[in-house]
A and B are shown apart, each in its own frame.
Chain A
Amino acid sequence: MDVAQKAALLKQLHDAVVDMDEEKTPRLCQEALAAGIDAYTAIMEGLAAGMDTVGRFYEEKEYFVPELLLCSDAMYAGLEVLRPHVKVGEHAAAGKIIMGVVEGDIHDIGKTLVKTMFEAAGWEIHDLGKDVKLERFAETLRDTAADVVALSALMTTSMMAMPKAIDMLKAVSPDVIVLVGGAPLNAEIAERYGADGYAPDAIAAVETATRLVTKAA
């Protein structure tokens, strides 16, 4: 397969993610491997590129959460094929992030979408799930030395856990970047809580985390 054909295959992979095709995406990933395309290249220039486009569609209000979920399913189906073939140690993760929905809250759809976008952006992710005891965030930070911790809450009651969680995280690592998000949050509340940043949606979360990590480096 020549360079142009490989580029066309990567474009097809991108389109399969954007078209929410959970069957076609892994098939194209197999084709990419068979054609000698490096697995990491297929991830970044096929799957992740597709999710970049999906993110743009979301910001332009062409895509909403149902579309994002299905695009994410397609992406993960492709990752399942490609990941085992990525040469270990050859590509550094863009960053390391811990994420979870704080104690008292089970609403995790926002966090799920944030995870998808960080995955697409090449971050190493430690997803703690939902209703996460505050101590667990701190323990995981201690264990992983993550760059960023992302806390999510949908309720005015559960957001009250965030200041305490942030204090616990900063006690473990004063330099850790803490992002918060969820419907009742805004930038002003985030700042008052001691967070380093706030993101109104999954796409902004990656941009904000990347900017803050770069600034801190």
Chain B
Amino acid sequence: MHLKQDRMTSRERMNALFSGQVPDRVPLGAMSTGFNTRNAGHTVADAYKDPEKSFTAMQWTTEQYGWDPIPQYAGHTVLGAWDFGGKVRMPQGEYEGALVVTEYPVKTEQDVEKLVLPDPRTAGRIPEALRFARLQADNDLPVYFFSRSPFTMAANIAGIDRFLRWTMKRTELCEHLLRLSLDHIFNVLAIWVDTFGAHRVFAWMSSPTESNQLVSPRIVKKFALPYHIEYHRRLGELGVKRFGFHICGEQNLNLPLLAEACPWAHPSVLSFGHEVDLETAAQHFPRDIIFGNIEPAVIQTGTPETVYALCRAAIEKGRQAPGGFILGPGCGLPVAAPPVNVYAMTRAVHDFGWYV
């Protein structure tokens, strides 16, 4: 679905944002996976295990709601627990919306030393992610590569409560896991670049374990930030130009750190949850495109009027961002979001999102 007054295609809209020009309207992103496959009559699990169903469902849902393809992914490309030898199962039942780790690869300190870098072609769901990426390339879409941050991935390998204890007591184990995580990310990213060309790849990252609901800025500075800095150095060396960062959850205390380091190329897309005010985000990151920040729980449980009002307020704040703005949910679009609430976001862009 194109909104009636669209004067740009999605590609033109995103190119305008990335080149610092004003697009025709505020783009609308979705961060949606399971919602799409359910929308198309499939299961949530299909989003992760069936790239073809997932891709087709995603394109139809994107058209239905007038989304711009930023980002579009069917789950993470690389995963900590799964890729490093843990056990994962597909979501099942009415209350599961994502992959479920059933066994972590690391259960003891000794397990850390036994870890080896996974096969970058066959580990976890990399083969399925590559099939999905080929579909994106074949359909002239950006080819997304989605990882968690090295810190979040390392926590996923060891189990979060074990890892967080080690940040205080066994820092060398954390460093080992962080190094393995970053190197694995780039072993796989190199395949994406070789296969599709650096100019086609859009690297996207999320960092939920860096949220201040879990850790202090001191921990982020000591453990997470050095690996963000190295990540972006290596991303640049590979020639990947487009990057998006989902700064997940309550991260207000981390913003000054991230703003000072700002290791990514500019502009990048920085996605925020409802916990971070859009004006605050824009003030800290004036050179980047701000994405967000409609609370997913409200999209799921609220009324379309409530969602519409939240979107209107977000558009009015976000469109002032000097680096540009994309309206979207503050985290993954809920699988069970009522369709009218998802449409309310589209309607808000239609009513309030035009620049000219």
Contact = CB atoms under 8 A, between A and B. Distances in A.
A160 B168 contact: no
Contacts of B249: 183
Contacts of B161: 69, 109, 112
A61 B96 contact: no
A67 B301 contact: no
A160 B296 CA distance: 13
A161 B95 CA distance: 7
A53 to B, nearest CB: 17
A160 B95 contact: yes
B213 interface: yes
A156 B219 contact: no
14 contacts: A61-B253, A64-B215, A65-B164, A66-B167, A155-B98, A156-B300, A157-B34, A157-B96, A158-B97, A183-B213, A183-B249, A184-B297, A185-B297, A192-B301
A70 interface: yes
Interface in B202-245: 212-216, 219
A185 B295 CA distance: 11
What are the 3 tightest A-B residue pairs by CB atom distance, in nearest-first order?
A104-B95, A157-B97, A156-B334
A70 B169 contact: yes
A102 interface: yes
Given A64-B214, A66-B219, A156-B336, A109 B160 contact: yes
A160 B94 contact: yes
B335 interface: yes
Nearest to A64: B216
Contacts of B95: 102-105, 157-158, 160-161
B165 interface: yes
Interface of A: 20, 61, 64-67, 69-70, 73, 102-106, 109, 112, 155-161, 183-186, 189, 192
A157 B164 contact: no
Interface residues of B, number: 33
A109 B164 CA distance: 10
Contact of B101 (A64, A106, A112): A106
Nearest to B96: A104
Contacts of B164: 65-66, 69, 109
A189 to B, nearest CB: 6
B100 interface: yes
Contacts of A73: 165
Interface string B271-308: 00000000000000000000000001100110000000
Nearest to B165: A69
A66 B296 contact: no
A66 B212 CA distance: 11
A160 B215 contact: no
Nearest to A67: B168
Contacts of B336: 156-157, 160
Nearest to B275: A183
A58 B124 CA distance: 37
